[in-house]
Chains A and B, each alone.
Chain A
Amino acid sequence: MIDWPWMADHLDELAFRLVQHFFLAAIAVGVGFVISLAAATWVARRRRLRGLLVGTSSVLYTIPSLALFAALVPVTGLSVLTAEIPLVLYTLLIFVRNFLAGLDSVAPEVLEAADAMGYSPRGRLVRVELPLALPLIVGGLRLASVSTIGLVTVSGILGDRFGGLGFFIFEGYRRVFATEIWFGGIPAILLAVAVDLVLLRVQRRLTPWAASEAVATGRQAAGAS
């Protein structure tokens, strides 16, 4: 069933595609993160703009990915932009929702205390709101990373210069060669899992206070029973 020798012959190509896959995803996640963070902090306390942003990003999310890649070809050609624009757009909904949920999760009395201590609006955002939103921000980062790593394969529709590991999947499909499909698919899954685990550790490192909250919650639960 599986053509092991073929695989052994293509390890160099696999390494190249894995790196390409990683960077295509990383660029999209990075750009999407920055755009969403700026947009979310800007609209967080502006109700109408906020509705507009969430609405727009939701609509974008409904566009079938294959269609979006194809539709951009006449506009941006077979360039890296054509691969990245859809990938970035799909991260927006995940990021915006998570960032807004993160900012919303900051208790009103904490904000009131921050104002009353004499934080400037910017100082309050940087020192209080964003740190407290971190669990949901990094949660969004994990979700967007996994989702984007999956979507990068679809960019293989744009030809063999893109697609990362998706290249093997498209090739294998064309040649009706199952080994090559697995050769692309399995590493893509492993990459997603690995990135997710790394980000989970980052999340724990960044939010040491959450451990103490979990203990306190556990203690309350134990006390209640």
Chain B
Amino acid sequence: MSRAARVVFEHVSKRYPGTAEGSGAVDDLSLEVPAGTTCVLVGPSGCGKTTTLKLVNRLIEPTSGRILVGDRDVAGRDPIVLRREIGYVIQQVGLFPHQTVGQNVETVPRLLGWDSGRRRARTDELLELVGLPAARYRDRYPAALSGGERQRVGVARALAADPPVLLMDEPFGAVDPLVRERLQNELLSIQEGLAKTILFVTHDIDEAIKMGDRVAVLEGGGRLAQFGTPDEILANPASDFVARFVGADRGLKRLALARVGDLQPADVTIAHPGDSAADARARVVADPFPYLLLLYADGQPIGWIGGKDVPGDGELAESMAVSASPLLDRHTTLKDALSMLLASSVQAGIVVDRRGAYQGIVTADMITERMRPAAESRS
């Protein structure tokens, strides 16, 4: 079951008789989501994006048209069997409050009749994958978790039986912006490893651009206004509706499409507490970038020391460093990175890996440099 499967909509309509436009109807939708890619359905409320999602696992039946998962028409399949092959994550999470985190995660494996040893191993593996140490979280009840932790469990539960397709309905809509950002980045890195076919619903164009390999913009009445890569949609909106929906700052939004990982981080003078100050001073003075970055032994940044503030003798100490730089990871978008840099006094962000260890730095100049060729070619 682990191979991703494409999802195809062929002239799919869902009408709700006697209701006005904006009721979640879908009008003659045709699109294909290639296997292993993420398609974000985005649009104003009532545009039918959630309906579209629920048509895939047959929580809602279409009025007309055909939906394929893999090469099979979902209409011909037992909905219960079908749903066990499709992961599902919703905004309110919908964890079972009477079951522990572990029991929640193993829901679909249990329904599929896996033996308990295999279920347990899978549950622990998934909890680790979503960043919740199994030993600490497995036996807790959902009520004892924060919103972000619950949503992580929701994602683990959806992935439990290794479904080829994942449906996500505003999965990060109910958590605060900081947690949302983290969860988005985590999902992106999980998806890098798993390559599921994901259908992701949001009303937030920024989230759509960030999460989607392709974006389907839906307008009122459930019509598909545009379907393309995020860059295509930002660069060439197909209609006034799309242009208005993506917003006047779509140039800036294109910044959101590139990530810190796309840049080659620059090197900077580094040293560790206890190193010879004289030696460090000599190195930083020789460097055009006049700041010394102090790191712990495991590579985690402590902070900056201005080149002139590095003493001429003795040893470097933690207390000399001023911690003033934003930390960036390779999934941070250039837009966020630039925005963080503009607000910081050092004008350089420290790129760290998953364990928080120093990789290099990124400056505002590097980011604008990266966007310039694209901007010039379009003018």
Contacts and interface: CB of A to CB of B under 8 A. Distances in A.
Interface in B93-123: 93-99, 107-108, 111
Contact of B96 (A113, A115, A134, A208): A113
Interface residues of A, number: 26
B308 interface: no
Interface string B76-98: 00001111101010101111111
Contacts of A120: 80
Nearest to A111: B94
Contact of B81 (A109, A118, A134, A215): A118
Given A212-B140, A213-B143, A215-B144, A113 B111 contact: no
A113 B83 contact: no
B108 A118 contact: yes
B332 interface: no
B144 A118 contact: no
Interface residues of B, number: 27
Contacts, number: 75
Contacts of B59: 112, 115-116
Contact of B83 (A110, A116, A132, A207): A116
A115 B83 contact: yes
Contact of B141 (A112, A113, A128, A212): A212
Contacts of B94: 107, 109-114
A181 to B, nearest CB: 46
B144 A116 contact: no
B141 A209 contact: yes
B151 interface: no
Interface string A185-225: 00000000000000000000001110011011100000000
Given A117-B111, A118-B80, A215-B144, A109 B96 contact: no
A207 B84 contact: no
B57 interface: yes
| Interface-central residue, A114, A116, A209, A216, by most chain B CB under 10 Å | A116
B352 to A, nearest CB: 31
B88 A113 contact: yes
Contact of A116 (B57, B92, B95, B141): B57
10 contacts: A109-B90, A109-B94, A112-B59, A112-B94, A113-B94, A116-B83, A117-B83, A118-B111, A209-B99, A217-B143
Interface of A: 107, 109-120, 123, 128, 131-132, 134, 207-209, 212-213, 215-217
